[in-house]
């Protein structure tokens, strides 16, 4: 069981990168896709759950942030290379927001390290879904009131923006719930109690 934790973490990281790159790779294979379709699992990613998991597993907060942020950066670079649209990978007005937000999510995960096993799952779900709500509200308001607004700066523009983003928010919330249950569920509780020992060779001393 101890060795299964890093394998699960790395597998989820690889899956998160692959899911972000898949539609752009399909496009390069002359398979057309519509970036607005709602049945493709846009935002169905384990990245939020990975951030929480990293915060629990790694004593060094810098290392806890490094893995999910590295996966995010790698997938963004891949999107730019595959699509040729670097503005999709690094939007001028909001490119920094995911990095700051996921860094905070990894920090939130460190709070779970002190939880009793019976409380770990519930608190993990609350933190994960709370993060998705926060990210949904902030990222979309920047699409209206940022320096490069996509929607008009009116109440109607705000409503239109949030309405258009609801399918993505739904997928993000469902995926976070699913992966938090996978990681911090009954098997995950047992693994988390052995997490620092299983990753002890990788984790540094706590950052003061």
Q: Output the tens digit of pLDDT for each of the chain's 208 residues.
A: 345 567 777 888 898 898 888 878 777 766 665 555 545 667 788 999 999 988 888 888 888 899 899 999 999 999 999 888 898 889 887 889 999 999 999 998 888 887 777 788 889 999 999 999 999 999 999 888 887 778 899 999 999 999 999 988 998 999 999 999 888 886 554 444 545 444 444 444 444 4
Place of tokens 């996509």: 150
CA dist 3 and 62 (Å) reads: 22
CB 50 within 8 A of CB 20: no
| Residues 6 or more apart in contact with residue 67 via CB below 8 angstroms | 9, 13, 50, 54
Using an 8 Å Cβ cutoff, are 109 and 64 in contact? yes
pLDDT attached to residue 187: 58
Count of CB atoms situated within 10 Å of the CB of 163: 10
**CA–CA distance, 183 with 162 (Å, rounded to integer):** 30
Q: CA neighbours within 13 Å on the CB side: how many for 115?
A: 23
Looking at residue 197, its pLDDT comes to 41
Confidence (pLDDT) at 45:
87
pLDDT at 98: 93
């Amino acid at each position: 069981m101890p060795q299964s934790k890093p394998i699960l973490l790395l597998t989820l990281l690889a899956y998160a990168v692959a899911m972000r790159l898949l539609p752009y790779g399909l496009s390069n294979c002359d398979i057309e896709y519509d970036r607005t379709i709602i049945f493709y699992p846009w935002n169905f990613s384990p990245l939020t759950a990975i951030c929480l998991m990293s915060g629990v597993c790694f004593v060094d907060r810098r290392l806890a942030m490094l893995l999910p942020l590295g996966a995010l950066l790698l997938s963004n670079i891949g999107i730019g290379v595959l699509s040729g649209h670097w503005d999709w990978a690094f939007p001028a007005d909001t490119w920094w927001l995911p990095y700051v937000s996921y860094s905070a999510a990894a920090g939130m995960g460190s709070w779970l390290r002190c939880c009793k096993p019976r409380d770990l799952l519930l608190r993990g779900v609350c933190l994960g879904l709370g993060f998705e709500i926060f990210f949904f509200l902030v990222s979309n308001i920047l699409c209206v009131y940022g320096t490069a607004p996509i929607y008009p700066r009116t109440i109607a523009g705000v409503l239109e923006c949030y309405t258009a983003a609801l399918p993505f928010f739904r997928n993000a919330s469902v995926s976070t719930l699913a992966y938090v249950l996978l990681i911090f569920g009954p098997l995950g509780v047992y693994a988390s109690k052995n997490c620092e020992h299983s990753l002890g060779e990788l984790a540094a001393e706590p950052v003061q």
